[in-house]
Amino acid sequence: MPLLNTNDRATKGELTKQRILEAAAQMFWKSSYHNVRVDKIVELAEVNKASFYQYFKNKEHAALECVDYMFSLTREHIFEGSFAQEQDPIKRLEEIYHRIYMAHKELKDNEEQIPGCPFMNMGSELATDSEIIRQKVEQVLGEFYVYQQRIYEDAKAKGLTTMDWEPELVGRQLQGILNGAMSSAKIRNRPEDITDALVTAKTIIGVPG
Amino acid sequence: MPLLNTNDRATKGELTKQRILEAAAQMFWKSSYHNVRVDKIVELAEVNKASFYQYFKNKEHAALECVDYMFSLTREHIFEGSFAQEQDPIKRLEEIYHRIYMAHKELKDNEEQIPGCPFMNMGSELATDSEIIRQKVEQVLGEFYVYQQRIYEDAKAKGLTTMDWEPELVGRQLQGILNGAMSSAKIRNRPEDITDALVTAKTIIGVPG
Amino acid sequence: MPLLNTNDRATKGELTKQRILEAAAQMFWKSSYHNVRVDKIVELAEVNKASFYQYFKNKEHAALECVDYMFSLTREHIFEGSFAQEQDPIKRLEEIYHRIYMAHKELKDNEEQIPGCPFMNMGSELATDSEIIRQKVEQVLGEFYVYQQRIYEDAKAKGLTTMDWEPELVGRQLQGILNGAMSSAKIRNRPEDITDALVTAKTIIGVPG
Amino acid sequence: MPLLNTNDRATKGELTKQRILEAAAQMFWKSSYHNVRVDKIVELAEVNKASFYQYFKNKEHAALECVDYMFSLTREHIFEGSFAQEQDPIKRLEEIYHRIYMAHKELKDNEEQIPGCPFMNMGSELATDSEIIRQKVEQVLGEFYVYQQRIYEDAKAKGLTTMDWEPELVGRQLQGILNGAMSSAKIRNRPEDITDALVTAKTIIGVPG
DNA sequence: GATGAATGAGTTTTCATTCAT
DNA sequence: TATGAATGAAAACTCATTCAT
């Protein structure tokens, strides 16, 4: 189940690397960095272990690239997808929450466990021990909250909100609410915690729940 | 640096266990479960490794007791402390955020790193792999959000808010905001993310930021 | 369930040692030397671990005394008991096998497992690694086969057998048959292997099965 | 000192596994399961410890495969070898005892210690604690006594015996005698105990000692 | 570009034994 | 005589990483 349309012109080596990346990203997400062994990644990717080290300097750098990979997936499927589908800023926000909820719901149904936010997971586990991972996750979350900042800006421009706040701050707060919601969902193993948080997000923007 | 007033009547063995617990809790918090080795815990606690296993079935169970230990610390120092100091619900909320901010600020100044929320950290890292840890963290966070639920209820009773929501839901949302804020602070290595979220929390309650 | 009538005049210390001995002997028999931890012995004996080392130089020497203890039990309950109960040499042999069978049957019913011969067990496990244990077991088995040697001698004297062999050799062979039978019973978890061997023993003596 | 003609077509990995197996089997036999450390096995096999765990799930499973390995060796060298060399059932029995005696004699001369029967040793030590080992040993001994059952059947068919017994029972009894003899030899450190038992075995079959 | 095999250095866990009171 | 507590040494087992082909 390749999650990304891999380039048809990709060389054999690029495909191998991609397979490893998909396997690793999936496993890191569903479990954790430390709990996933390189052995298991290559087993799932169906490649030789030495190939792993041909394409990645070490496990940490593989994780780094996984964050990038998950980033591009999330941006496409969650943010860009929602923005393309809906024009109204509030509907966009709703769609974002809906898509995230659906993804977690499906994962719970199939795997019994809710994986939470892949970026928060990595960040939580590794921020204090790996500065490069911390920075990468910081960067990724930074790219996401601009989507939510824009939702607020659009809502404001359309007169949908009475709140008059610093957009950057609102963007970050919305991101924080989303992060908190996914973490809750994971820890309580309850996907509905994500949709529950939508009303909070709307309140921040200043629209009725 | 004992974080808790340990009972004066404690036996020698209980004190040893307590020392291990303090060392382990601190290290798990500042780093992560997997990145902290039992060797290092007993080194910090200045006990023999076999003693660790005399008092704890294994590393996982030690972590479990660490969650309990951090829970009692947090409840006392953050929640009960704030409630005892302030009577006004909004002031209580502010005090909670303030105390959490101060703790993180201090840790950043001393250790260069922001540890984030000990419960979210554990939960994030282990929820999908250790059901007993997941349940313990779920339980702990459950105990915390009732404090915030009460803040909302009190605010409502005092006519400080115009919002009319289900208190349990508000409690959970406030907890989510706090969690998201601590995670942000950790990942962005920026303690101010905690205080920044206070305005979001207040907005949810329905009081002016 | 003390297996031996301990002296009423025994001091407190002697009783403690006796309790340890009983616990250790029982556990070594039912499991094995290496698989039984000193911790578990003192737990069953309900004594402090340091007491164990007050009465026994170390685990090996405790095992050594266990062999002696089991020897006296076995001599009384199996050999002397059978000899006292029966006068006829063949009946005596039958009674020996019967008593051993009953003991194993009961143990299987209660513990699901057949422990086999305590002396063979110790010997098998330790003979090549502990010369003092090997010698002790050799001595004990040596004391036992004289009972069987005497059975043969008596049978011969009574004209119950036509075989004319060196009695010492017959004694050893009978002991070997018994040992083999108990080992079979243990490995096949089948107490009847003991009674099955009676016919072999009788054949050696030269009486009809 | 490879005891088995290993396949020339074996891969490098298979050869490594074989080396470990040979080292482990030898050491378990000469000492005991618990007394042999994985460290020492890999030292003798001249492989890295991790390789041990690449080829065997754990120590217990290695022991399990050792039993299989010793089984094939014993079947070839002792039973099949004797049957191939001799046609007469009694001569076959004598040859079996002779070969076992020679093996033990040689081991005593070289190692000072008689290792006894590898299967009885394992069984004795582990039967009550490892059900999978107990079953494996039971199975192996079961395969051996059919050789001795056949000796009795052949002897009977040739009119060499007057005894008229259930062949399966005789097979088991002969196996028991052999087992008892090897155990005696080990505990008394006297290889001759094996040859001494031959007369017992012959008596059971019903031929003159 | 790929892979079977190997490995150094850890990592958790255990155990017999002893100390201090 | 007894015991709560501690511990050195080693045990089984693991893991990221690299080698040789």
Question: What are A137-179's pLDDT values in tens digits?
Answer: 999 999 999 999 999 999 999 988 888 899 999 999 999 999 9
Distance of alpha carbon B49 from alpha carbon B42, whole angstroms:
6
pLDDT, residue D9, reads: 67
Comparing CB atoms, the residue among A34, A137, A196 nearest residue B187 is: A137
A29, C193, B11, A128: which is closest to D171 by C-alpha? C193
Interface contact flag, A183 B176, Cβ < 8 Å: yes
Distant-in-sequence contacts of A2-8, Cβ < 8 A, 24+ apart: A3/A73, A4/A69, A4/A72, A4/A73
Distance CA B115, CA C80 (A): 74
| Pairwise CA distance, residues C116 & C100, whole Å | 10
Residue from B154, B152, B157 nearest B170 by CA:
B152
Q: Mean pLDDT across the stretch C125-146?
A: 94
CA of C116 to C1' of E15 (A): 26
Looking at chain B, how many residues does it have? 209
C-alpha B171/C-alpha B151 separation (Å) is 8
- Structure confidence by residue, pLDDT tens digits, C12-26: 788 899 999 999 999
The pTM of this model reads: 0.89
Report if residue B159 sits inside a domain. yes
Say how far apart CA A138 and CA C187 lie, in whole Å: 63
Nucleotide nearest B10 (Cα, C1'): F4
User: With a 7 Å cutoff on the CB, does A33 touch strand F?
Assistant: no
Nearest chain C residue to D108 by CA distance is C128
- Asked if chain D contacts chain C via 3 or more Cβ pairs within 8 Å, the reply is yes
Q: Do the Cβ atoms of A183 and B123 come within 8 Å? A: yes
A-contacting residues of B 154-183, CB under 8 Å?
A: 163, 169, 172-173, 175-181, 183
Residue B132: what pLDDT? Answer: 94
CB contact under 8 A, C32 and D125: yes
A60 touches B: beta carbon within 8 Å: no
Taking the CA of residue A180 and the nearest CA in chain B, the distance in Å comes to 4
Mean pLDDT of chain B: 92
Q: Residue C28 in contact with residue C66, Cβ under 8 Å?
A: yes
**Residues B32, A180: C-beta atoms closer than 8 Å:** no
> C208 — alpha (psi -120 to 50), left (phi > 0) or beta?
beta
Instruction: Report DSSP state, residue A77.
Output: I
Q: Which residue has the higher pLDDT, C11 or B154?
A: B154
pLDDT averaged over every residue in chain C: 91
Report how far apart, in Å, the C-alpha atoms of D175 and of each of B175, C96, C197, D80, D188 are.
73, 21, 11, 16, 20
pLDDT digits (tens, 9 = 90+) for C32-46: 999 999 999 999 999
| Residue A27 located in a structural domain | no
Q: Is the pLDDT of residue B184 over 80?
A: yes
Locate the chain D residue with the closest alpha carbon to C118.
D124
The tens digit of pLDDT for each residue in B31-83 reads: 999 999 999 999 999 999 999 999 999 999 999 999 999 999 999 999 999 99
Report the CATH number that the domain containing residue B75 is assigned in CATH: 1.10.357.10
List, as own/partner pairs, every contact residues B106-110 make where C-beta atoms lie below 8 angstroms and the sequence separation is at least 24, other chains included.
B107/B30, B108/B189, B108/B191
Q: Centre a 10 Å sphere on the Cβ of residue A44 and count the other Cβ atoms it contains.
A: 16
Residue A160 has which token pair?
């949908």
**What is residue A13's predicted lDDT score, i.e. its pLDDT?**
82
C-alpha span between A23 and A41 (Å, rounded): 6
Q: What is the pLDDT of residue C10?
A: 67
CB pair distance less than 8 Å for D176 and C180: yes
Q: How confident is the model at residue A3 (pLDDT cuts 50, 70, 90)?
A: very low
Distance CA D46, CA D1 (A): 13
pLDDT tens per residue, range B190-207: 999 999 999 999 999 988
* Residues in CB range of D28: below 8 A, 6 or more apart: D36, D63, D66, D118, D121, D122
Eight-class DSSP state of C190: -
Nearest to D116 by CA among C130, C189, C128: C128
Distance in angstroms (rounded) separating the CA atoms of residues B28 and B22: 10
Domain containing residue B105 = 59-205
Listed residue (A130, A168, A133, A177) closest to B184, CA to CA: A177
* CB under 8 A, 24+ apart: contacts of B129-138: B129/A31, B129/A32, B129/A35, B130/B60, B132/B60, B132/B64, B133/B60, B133/B63, B133/B64, B133/B67, B134/A187, B134/A189, B136/B64, B136/B67, B136/B68, B137/A187, B137/B67, B138/A187, B138/A188, B138/A189
Give yes or no for a contact between D193 and D181, defined as CB atoms under 8 angstroms apart.
Answer: yes
Cβ of C11 near strand F (under 7 Å)? The reply is yes
Task: Let me know if C198 is exposed, middle or buried by CB neighbors in 10 A (0-12, 13-18, 19+).
Answer: buried
pLDDT value at residue D111: 87
- What phi, psi does B38 have (nearest 5°)? -55, -35
Residue D9 in any domain: the answer is: no
pLDDT of A190 > 90? The answer is yes
pLDDT digits (tens, 9 = 90+) for D7-57: 456 888 999 999 999 999 999 999 999 999 999 999 999 999 999 999 999
* pLDDT, chain A, mean: 92
Protein-covered nucleotides of chain F (CB closer than 7 Å) are 1-20
In a domain, A197, yes or no: yes
Q: How confident is the model at residue A39 (pLDDT cuts 50, 70, 90)?
A: very high
179-208 of C, contacting D, C-beta below 8 A:
179-181, 183-184, 186-189, 193, 196-197, 199-200, 203-204
C1 pLDDT above the threshold of 80: no
Instruction: Give the pLDDT score at C163.
Output: 81
Which residues neighbour strand E (beta carbon < 7 Å)? Answer: A 11-13, 16, 47-51, 54; B 36-39, 49-50, 52-53, 58-60; C 34, 36-39, 49-50, 52-53, 58-60; D 11-16, 47-51, 54
B1 touches strand F (CB under 7 A): no
Position B5 pLDDT exceeds 90: no
With bands split at pLDDT 50, 70 and 90, how would you rate the model's confidence at B1?
very low
Average pLDDT of the segment spanning C59-63: 96
Residue nearest to nucleotide E18 (CA to C1'): C50
**Contact state of B200 with A196 under an 8 Å Cβ cutoff:** no
> Per-residue pLDDT tens for C88-126?
999 999 999 999 999 999 999 998 889 999 999 999 999
- Please, which residues have CB within 8 angstroms of residue A80's CB and are 6 or more apart in sequence? none
Residue B13 Cβ < 7 Å to strand F: yes
pLDDT digits 0-9 by tens, D105-121: 999 999 889 999 999 99
Which of C34, C67, C183 is best to mutate for the D interface (most D CBs within 10 A)?
Answer: C183
Question: How far is CA C149 from its chain centroid?
Answer: 17
Which one, of A151, A137, A22, A20, lies nearest residue A71 by Cα?
A: A137
* Pick from B14, B36, B10, B12: nearest CA to B25: B36
pLDDT at A5 over 80: no
User: Confidence band (pLDDT; 50, 70, 90) for D209?
Assistant: low
What is the spatial distance between Cα C30 and Cα C116, in angstroms, rounded to a whole number?
8
Q: How many domains does chain A have?
A: 1
Contact C66, C25 (CB under 8 A): yes
Q: Which residues 6+ apart lie within 8 Å of C51 measured at CB?
A: C16, C20, C42
* Domain-located, residue A25: no
Residues of C in contact with D123 (CB under 8 A): 183, 186-187
Contact between chains at D127 and C113 (C-beta distance less than 8 A): yes
Q: Is residue A172 part of a domain?
A: yes
What would the two tokens of residue A46 be? 């169906």
Sign of CA dihedral B43, B49, B54, B60: positive
Cβ atoms of residues C200 and D177 within 8 Å: yes
Query: Would the CB atoms of B129 and A31 count as touching at under 8 Å?
Result: yes
pLDDT at D59: 97
Question: What's the pLDDT at A209?
Answer: 59
Is C178–D173 a contact, with Cβ atoms under 8 angstroms apart? no
Q: Nearest nucleotide, C1' to the C-alpha of D53? A: F13
C-alpha separations of A179 from A140, A145, B72, B111, B113 in Å: 13, 11, 25, 25, 20
Residues ≥6 apart with Cβ < 8 Å to B90: B151, B155, B160, B202, B205, B207
Nearest chain C residue to D198 by CA: give it: C173
C51 and chain D in contact, CB less than 8 A = no
Of all nucleotides, the one whose C1′ comes closest to residue D57's CA is F13
Q: What is the pLDDT of residue D161?
A: 87
**pLDDT value of residue A167:** 94
Q: What is the DSSP letter of D130?
A: -
User: Contact A179/B186 with Cβ under 8 angstroms?
Assistant: no
* Measured CA angle at C179 (ends C100, C3), to 5 deg: 40
Residue D63: pLDDT band by 50, 70, 90 thresholds?
very high
Q: With beta carbons less than 8 A apart as the criterion, state whether A164 and A96 touch.
A: no
State whether residue A2 is helix, strand or coil.
coil
- The answer as to whether D131 is a domain residue is yes
Question: Is position B13 within any domain?
Answer: no
